[in-house]
């Protein structure tokens, strides 16, 4: 796993090697735009102010729900980007916290391979992309990321389908994920792509006292709650395919995906998982947009 993560780090360094310095923390005109929209004190300016505060570049307010029972969090996000001869690169960072001291923080990078493009210039005609559809990116996309999440209030009722509310307990958990992925389109007609990922997942469990029910260690043990006393690191691989064709003048849209993931850990915690999603959308009008984020965009950038 260490060797795989080292390869990801070396790839990141190579892709960034040809880049110029990062953009300034206050891009030209951004401060003036914020003042104009938020200090106008007009009803029409409220929408523009909210847009600047929650989607502005490079900094904006980050909000979101972390997990059930752990509350709605707020924090700050940073978005940067740079385009070189063969790459469109973006980086995102965010951190939010909730009222019960749970939190999430992460750093995410996207490397979009554009071998036929230069900054502001494109060689040859662009690939046919329908304006009313989102579609997959026409380029290969590499991603690197690291995210840590700490939750202070998670419920556990025991194992099996016959658990009752009397067996409710609480525990806290911290999870760190470090890894990367790649999305490779291979068919424009089927709007299809292959997907691969490699992750290191590290989880630690702790007591959660002061709740309305006991902490997990007061009721359960390793036999009744496997993984309570030890949480080994997990090396996780994933491979999949996604197909999103459209039919009948763009009115019938399919979103099919199949992903096979393998989790490798010590003791008895190794397992495999297959996830199959079959999505169907029937548009009332051909210009109805597909509300799916682009794979080339980071979590803190505009999804479209």
Closest to 102 measured CA to CA, from 77, 76, 72, 78: 72
Task: Break the chain down into helix, strand, coil percent, rounded to 5.
Answer: 15, 45, 40
Residue 68 falls inside a structural domain: no
Residue 139 — very low, low, confident or very high, per pLDDT cuts 50/70/90?
confident
Residue 126 falls inside a structural domain: yes
Domain that holds residue 258: 2-21+80-282
Residue 135 falls inside a structural domain: yes
Q: What percent of the chain has pLDDT over 90?
A: 47
Positive or negative: CA dihedral 43, 48, 54, 59: negative
Residue 70 falls inside a structural domain: no
The answer to whether 258 touches 240, Cβ cutoff 8 Å, is yes
**Tally of domains in the chain:** 1
User: What rounded mean pLDDT belongs to the chain?
Assistant: 80
The answer to whether 108 touches 80, Cβ cutoff 8 Å, is no
Q: What phi, psi does 74 have (nearest 5°)?
A: -140, 150
Residue 144 falls inside a structural domain: yes
- The arithmetic mean of pLDDT across residues 212-218, rounded, is 95
On the question of pLDDT at 98 being above 90, the answer is: yes
Residue 72 falls inside a structural domain: no
What would the pLDDT profile of 140-173 be if each residue is shown by its tens digit? 999 999 999 999 999 999 999 999 999 999 999 9
Residue 49 falls inside a structural domain: no
What would the pLDDT profile of 173-200 be if each residue is shown by its tens digit? 999 999 999 999 988 788 899 999 999 9
Residue 241 falls inside a structural domain: yes
- The arithmetic mean of pLDDT across residues 44-53, rounded, is 71
The answer to whether 215 touches 228, Cβ cutoff 8 Å, is no
Residue 285 — very low, low, confident or very high, per pLDDT cuts 50/70/90?
confident
Lowest mean pLDDT: which of 36-50, 132-146, 288-302? Answer: 36-50
What would the pLDDT profile of 250-275 be if each residue is shown by its tens digit? 888 899 999 999 999 977 788 999 99
Q: Quick one: pLDDT at residue 45?
A: 62
Q: What percent of the chain has pLDDT over 70?
A: 74
Positive or negative: CA dihedral 201, 207, 211, 214: positive
Q: Quick one: pLDDT at residue 148?
A: 97
Residue 122 — very low, low, confident or very high, per pLDDT cuts 50/70/90?
very low
Residue 115 — very low, low, confident or very high, per pLDDT cuts 50/70/90?
confident
């Amino acid at each position: 796993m260490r060797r795989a993560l080292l390869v990801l780090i070396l790839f990141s360094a190579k892709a960034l090697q040809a880049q110029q310095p990062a953009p300034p923390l206050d891009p030209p005109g951004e401060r003036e735009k914020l003042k104009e929209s938020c200090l106008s004190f007009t009803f029409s300016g409220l929408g523009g102010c909210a847009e600047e505060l929650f989607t502005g570049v490079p900094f904006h307010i980050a909000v979101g729900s972390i997990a059930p029972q752990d509350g709605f969090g707020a924090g700050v996000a940073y978005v940067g980007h740079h385009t070189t001869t063969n790459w469109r690169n973006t980086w995102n960072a965010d951190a939010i916290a909730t009222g019960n001291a749970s939190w999430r923080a992460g750093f995410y990078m996207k490397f979009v391979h554009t071998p036929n493009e230069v900054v502001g210039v494109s060689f040859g005609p662009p690939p046919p992309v329908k304006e009313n559809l989102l579609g997959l990116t026409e380029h290969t996309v590499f991603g690197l990321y690291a995210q840590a999440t700490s939750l202070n209030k998670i419920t556990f009722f025991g194992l099996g389908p016959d658990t009752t509310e009397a067996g409710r307990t609480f525990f806290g958990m911290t999870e760190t994920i470090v890894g990367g992925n790649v999305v490779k389109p291979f068919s424009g007609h089927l709007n299809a792509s292959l997907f691969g990922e490699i992750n290191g997942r590290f989880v630690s469990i702790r007591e959660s006292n002061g709740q309305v029910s006991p902490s997990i260690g007061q009721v359960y043990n390793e036999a009744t709650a496997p993984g309570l006393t030890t949480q080994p690191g997990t090396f996780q691989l994933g491979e999949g395919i996604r197909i999103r064709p459209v039919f009948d003048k763009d009115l019938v849209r399919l979103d099919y995906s199949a992903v096979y993931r393998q989790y490798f850990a010590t003791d008895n915690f190794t397992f495999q998982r297959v996830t199959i999603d079959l999505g169907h959308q029937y548009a009332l009008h051909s210009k109805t947009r597909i509300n799916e984020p682009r794979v080339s965009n980071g979590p803190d950038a505009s999804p479209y």
